[in-house]
Structures are given as structure tokens and as C-alpha cells.
Amino acid sequence: MAGARVIHHEFSTIGGQRNAAIEAATEDWILVVDADERGSTALGLDVAQAIKSNQLDAHRVPRRNFFLGREVKHGGWQSDRPVRLFRKSVRYNSSRVHEHVEVTGEIGELRNGLVHEPYPTIDSWFEKLDRYSKWWAEDKLVPR
């Protein structure tokens, strides 16, 4: 594990998992990269420059999205720029579907980004569609 520290946290939401990891972080800046994403040396240089400039609390990271091995350039995916680099003081919201960090103030944008390959098979896409539609319906339509 090359010196990595493993943290166990009871799952509630993806944002909750990320917030627990942020709490445990020992550095002032967080870069979120999911298991289905890959960065580049150019992205690493952008991250270092953004941290060095120390002007903003958060930065968007553009993503090139792929579906079953082909890049998606339409349907909103071509402009996918989630906030992925931010100060440790920033936290994710509690949404189960499309969680995001809550930032006050100006958000910067890095030039270089991530390659995102979330669906290796059509079955994986249907599984996530089923899970997310169920969660969305429960959160929006089921009285608590």
C-alpha cells in the first residue's frame, strides 16, 4: 500500500464517506480522484500551481467522459467540471445522488483535467441507473 493509511467509516452517503476522509486528511488541500478516473502530469502541475497561488478555496477540474470506451461529447458531459480541488475546510452535501462540495466564494478552474471511464459494461450502467433512480425517488418522493 506504499504507506497509505486505510480508514473505515460506516457508509451513509458518498458525500459522508468523502467528508470522513477529508476530516482525516493531514494536509490543507484535498484533490478528489475516483477509482474510475485518471489524472496526468499536466493536471499535477495545474494542482501544484493552484495550491501555490493560494488565492481561492476551490477549483473545478474538467473531465473527459467515456461510455463503453468512447468519449461522450454531447448531452452535457462535454462540459463536466466538478469541484475536485479544495481546501480542507470545504465539505460535501448529504445528497445521495450527485453529491457535491458546498463552496462559498469564487471557484477557479484548472486547465488540465481527468479522464473518467465510469462504465466498463452496459450492465454497470444499468446497475448505477437503477441504484441512483431509487435513491433519488426515496429522497424526493417518500415522506420521512
Q: What is the pLDDT of residue 144?
A: 57
User: Which of 12, 18, 41 has its CA nearest to residue 31?
Assistant: 18
Q: How confident is the model at residue 1 (pLDDT cuts 50, 70, 90)?
A: low
Q: What is the mean pLDDT of residues 2-17?
A: 88
HSE-up of 110 (CA within 13 Å, CB side)?
31
In whole angstroms, give the CA distance from residue 12 to residue 16. 6
Strand, coil or helix: 84: strand
CA dihedral 70, 77, 43, 111 (to 10 degrees): 130
Question: Does the predicted model carry a pTM greater than 0.95?
Answer: no
Q: What is the pLDDT of residue 54?
A: 87
Pick 108 or 3 by higher pLDDT. 108
pLDDT in tens, 63-115: 999 999 899 999 988 889 999 999 999 999 988 888 999 999 899 999 999 99
DSSP letter assigned to residue 2: T
Residue in the structure block whose three cell numbers are 433512480: 133
Q: How confident is the model at residue 3 (pLDDT cuts 50, 70, 90)?
A: confident
DSSP letter assigned to residue 78: G
